[in-house]
Amino acid sequence: MKTLKSILLVVAVTLSTFTFAQKSVKIGHINSNELLAAMPERETVQKQIEDHAAQLTATMDAMRKEYETKVGEFQAKQDVMTDIIRDNKIKEITDLEKRITEFQKTAQADLQKKEETLLQPIIDKAKKAIDDVAKENNFTYILDSSLGVVLYSIDSDDILALVKKKLNIQ
C-alpha cells in the first residue's frame, strides 16, 4: 500500500513537471495584404506591371485594328474578287484571327509571369521580416488574417506594427 502511494506520488509529480515544462503557445496574426500594400517597393512594381500591360494592350489594339481593316476591305471588294483572291483573303483573315487569339493567351500568361517575377522579392522580404519578428518575440504561430482562415481568435497579437517597424515602414 505504501509502495502504491509512493508510485502515485511520483507519477503525479512527473506529470505536473511535464505540464509546466511544456512550452507555452504564443499566437500572432498579420494581414499580409495590408503589409504588402504598405511596402514602398510595391508602388514601383505596380507601375512596371501597368506599363507592361499597356504595351501588351497597344499591340493587341494594333492587331484588332488590322483585322477590322482587312475584314472591311474584304467585305467591300468581295463581289469583284476572283475566287483565288477571295480564298487568299479569307485565309489571310483567318490566320490573323488565330494570331490574335494566340496573342491573347500568351499575353495573359506573360503578364501573370511578369507580376509573379516582380512581386516575389517583395514577398520574400516580407516573409523574412515576419519570421524575424516571430523569432524575436517568441511566437509559436503566426496566422495570416488576410486569407480569411482565422474564424476565431483570442489572445492573439497583431504583429503588423512590429513587421512594419522591422522594414522601416511608417
Q: Identify the band that residue 28 occupies on the pLDDT scale cut at 50, 70 and 90.
A: confident
pLDDT of amino acid 45: 94
The mean pLDDT of 52-62, rounded to a whole number, is: 96
Beginning with the edge strand found earlier in the chain, give each strand of the sheet holding 157-158 in spatial order: 141-144, 27-30, 157-158
Count of alpha carbons within 13 angstroms of residue 9, beta-carbon side: 6
How far is it, in rounded angstroms, from Cα 81 to Cα 103?
30
pLDDT of residue 60: 95
Give me the pLDDT at residue 110, please. 95
Q: How many CB atoms lie within 10 A of CB 144?
A: 15
What are the grid coordinates assigned to 19, written together?
Answer: 505540464
pLDDT tens string 61-112: 999 999 999 999 999 998 898 999 999 999 999 999 999 999 999 999 999 9
Q: What fold characterizes domain 24-166?
A: Protein Binding, DinI Protein; Chain A (3.30.910)
pLDDT of the residue at 3: 52
Instruction: Please report the pLDDT score of residue 22 as a whole number.
Output: 56
Is 41's pLDDT higher than 80?
yes
Q: How confident is the model at residue 155 (pLDDT cuts 50, 70, 90)?
A: low
DSSP output for 100-129: HHHHHHHHHHHHHHHHHHHHHHHHHHHHHH
Q: Are 144 and 31 in contact (CB under 8 A)?
A: yes
- Model pTM? 0.67
